[in-house]
Amino acid sequence: MTTVSLGMPRLPAAGVPDVRLPADRPATGGLLDRFGRVATDLRVSLTDRCNLRCTYCMPAEGLPTLPKDSVMTREEIVRLVGIATSELGVRQVRFTGGEPLLRRDLVEIVAECAALPHRPELSLTTNAVGLDSRAAALREAGLDRVNISLDTLDPDTFATLARRPFLARTLAGIDAAAREFDLVKINAVLVRGVNLDHAAELLSWCLERGFELRFIEQMPLDADHAWDRAAMVTAAEVREQLGTRFALEPDEEPRDGAPAERFVVRDLDGAPHGRRRGRVGIIASVTEPFCDDCRRTRLTAEGGVRDCLFAHTETDLLGPLRAGADDAVLADLWRGAMWAKQAGHGMSDSGSGTDLDSSGFTQPERTMSAIGG
């Protein structure tokens, strides 16, 4: 629903915030911030619930779940994605969570977003538990890509990290994704003393299947607040670890705002490894942040806009939407939220490495599972 302005001042309805424009913020256009970045990549969290309890994300006992009526419905999600794509220039939408496969209406959400007039590229981040029975329907509904989280191929280590013995279910989901989608990306988090020395084996397995593996540095977004700068596995260590088995060369292709630094992978004797020209990505959010090139905006499962994973504030869109705000008002609230984005996430100081104490960084209240990773 788009409202055409008649040139008359619009009075906010009860419950709809009155958007007051800062003098220097453009009233129309995309999701621009004060540092000239434009967000075109939207992450939508479909639920805060998850069927795993990964140690670096959730506590063993889980987190209190959101009341059902505070989570966006399918219609609300599709309406906000529609505003993002038709009014705000968003081109890519990734569904995440929590675990998005726990939404029974996931296929319908994908289908309705794929039918929007400004169809975005649609992708899903998932642990793949249960994907085996839904991958075909998701592709038919219009899903373009999947990223699957897999930290190890060892069942015991999987059960230690995810606190659930579900490796076989995840692998079944990956097989189904490989049948249905052209490109499967795998995300892995390495934890010292647990799966760091599984990195090269995981890469070999991915290359042999034509999957693109990306290692993500562990970020301080865990519920237990156990993240420790000194203990986390850095991107430099990942490169070193992979270097024991592979030769990595920086990829010549432009990074183009992507968070992962990519490398072409060969065996140590220079021969290609695997089915395709193999690549690996390393996402160094902590030690080599890429905030200058960030193009991301996020919606939590409760319909709050977050301009950064590490933000301490959110802008509620769901309350105003339910109170009757029109598309123009919601778009402007979203623009205002992104305008306030900070220059960086605050974890690194002066490019000399990362020092949480000296930068005054404080961990956000919400965990990765509650924000939507």
- Enumerate binding residues for ligand SAM (CB under 6 A): 50, 56-57, 96-97, 99, 125-127, 149, 187, 189, 216, 218-219, 221-222, 368-369, 373
What's the half-sphere exposure (Cβ side, CA atoms, 13 Å) at 256? 6
177 — alpha (psi -120 to 50), left (phi > 0) or beta?
Answer: alpha
How many residues appear in the chain?
Answer: 373
- In this structure, are strands 296-299 and 41-45 parallel, antiparallel, or unpaired? parallel
Q: Which is nearer to ligand SAM, 83 or 367 (CB)?
A: 367
> Considering beta carbons, is residue 19 or 294 the nearer one to ligand SAM?
294
Chain residue at closest Cβ approach to ligand SAM: 373
Q: Please, what is the minimum distance in Å from the beta carbon of residue 311 to ligand SAM?
A: 15
- Nearest distance from C-beta of residue 26 to ligand SAM, angstroms: 32
Smallest distance from ligand SAM to CB 113, Å: 17
Pick 136 or 226: Cβ nearer ligand SAM:
226
- Closer CB to ligand SAM, 96 or 348, in the complex: 96
CB nearer to ligand SAM: pick between 150 and 325? 150
217 sits in which H/E element: none
Residue recorded with tokens 């301009």:
307
Report the nearest approach of ligand SAM to the CB of residue 328 (Å): 32
Q: Which is nearer to ligand SAM, 194 or 323 (CB)?
A: 194
Nearest CA-CA partner of 279 in 266, 268, 265: 265
Minimum distance of ligand SAM from residue 315's CB (angstroms): 21
At residue 150, what are phi and psi to the nearest 5 degrees?
-150, 115
Place of tokens 């890469």: 203
Q: Judged by CB, which is closer to ligand SAM: 259, or 373?
A: 373
Instruction: Report, in Å, the least distance between residue 364 CB and ligand SAM.
Output: 11
Dist. CA 19–CA 199, nearest whole Å: 49
Q: d(Cα 240, Cα 281) in Å, to the nearest integer? A: 14
Amino acid at 178: A
Q: Please, are residues 261 and 250 in contact by the beta-carbon 8 Å criterion? A: yes
Please state the closest distance from residue 367 (CB atom) to ligand SAM, in A. 7
Q: What are phi and psi of 195, to 5 degrees?
A: -135, 10
Is residue 298 within 8 Å of residue 42, measured between CB atoms?
Answer: yes
Instruction: Tell me the C-alpha distance between 150 and 147, whole Å.
Output: 10
Phi-psi region of 98 (alpha: psi -120 to 50; beta: other; left: phi over 0): left
- Please, what is the minimum distance in Å from the beta carbon of residue 88 to ligand SAM? 23
For ligand SAM, the closer CB: 166 or 246: 166
